[in-house]
A and B are shown apart, each in its own frame.
Chain A
Amino acid sequence: GENVEQHPSTLSVQEGDSAVIKCTYSDSASNYFPWYKQELGKGPQLIIDIRSNVGEKKDQRIAVTLNKTAKHFSLHITETQPEDSAVYFCAAHNQAGTALIFGKGTTLSVSS
């Protein structure tokens, strides 16, 4: 089945720096790659997603890139702020396309 690997597991940056989180997936048929942010005590919330027909998508300080050949996709956060501190999850479809399979999460800490 689909396997999603996510790195790093923890990431600490200074306010204003950029943060990059990388994921790889195993099923070449996967075509939808969302990123979720989970704040302490809350459920995961979608922050950005990308479909296989584009290579990059940007929304203000957040961008996602996709390399289908290499089967990896990345989240880029620029000008990080303390409120960006959270756990970030990448995801891809399972083989049947019936659910999202999540990476193991990256705990991002932004210090001021």
Chain B
Amino acid sequence: DTAVSQTPKYLVTQMGNDKSIKCEQNLGHDTMYWYKQDSKKFLKIMFSYNNKELIINETVPNRFSPKSPDKAHLNLHINSLELGDSAVYFCASSPLLQGVESSGNTIYFGEGSWLTVV
């Protein structure tokens, strides 16, 4: 009964390949996110979706394409993988957009997907 689950947990692939990471949340939240954590542990927002609609695309290369078939799922597809894409990718969700004043507006993170491009 994991709240935010993402698969796969580990992914090793060659440069130039296309890969996808799937994410699902069973919390009934309206908003989902993808964050990237590099080797220095920096956590950076990539995308956010609210009720299946794209809210943020933080200057991420268009090789990265998020897809939200419904508000419980936000998948990340990456084309033409490069060495610099190696990182941990975290999916997350929150009840509402962060800017909405709410006492329960916590972001919940998944366990991460470790992507290594060789």
In the complex, which range does the number of interface residues on chain A fall in? 20 to 34
Interface 9-residue window, one of B68-76, B78-86, B99-107 = B99-107
In the complex, which range does the number of interface residues on chain B fall in? 20 to 34
- B43 interfacial contact with A, CB 8 Å: yes
- B64 interfacial contact with A, CB 8 Å: no
Task: Report Cα–Cα, A15/B56, bound state, in Å.
Answer: 42
Near B by CB (< 8 A), chain A positions 26-49 give 31-32, 34, 36, 38, 41-46, 49
Interface 9-residue window, one of A16-24, A58-66, A74-82, A91-99 = A91-99
Question: With A87-B41, A89-B43 known to touch, is A42 a contact of B111 (CB < 8 Å)?
Answer: yes
Q: Identify A98's interface contact among B48, B92, B108, CB under 8 A.
A: B48
- A72 interfacial contact with B, CB 8 Å: no
> Among B99, B100, B112, which residue has the most Cβ atoms of chain A within 10 A?
B99
Please list the residues of chain B having a beta carbon within 8 angstroms of any beta carbon in chain A: 4, 33, 40-45, 48, 55-56, 58, 90, 92, 97-101, 103, 105-112
Q: With A44-B109, A94-B56 given, can you name 5 additional A-B contacts, CB distance below 8 Å?
A: A34-B107, A36-B109, A99-B33, A100-B107, A105-B41
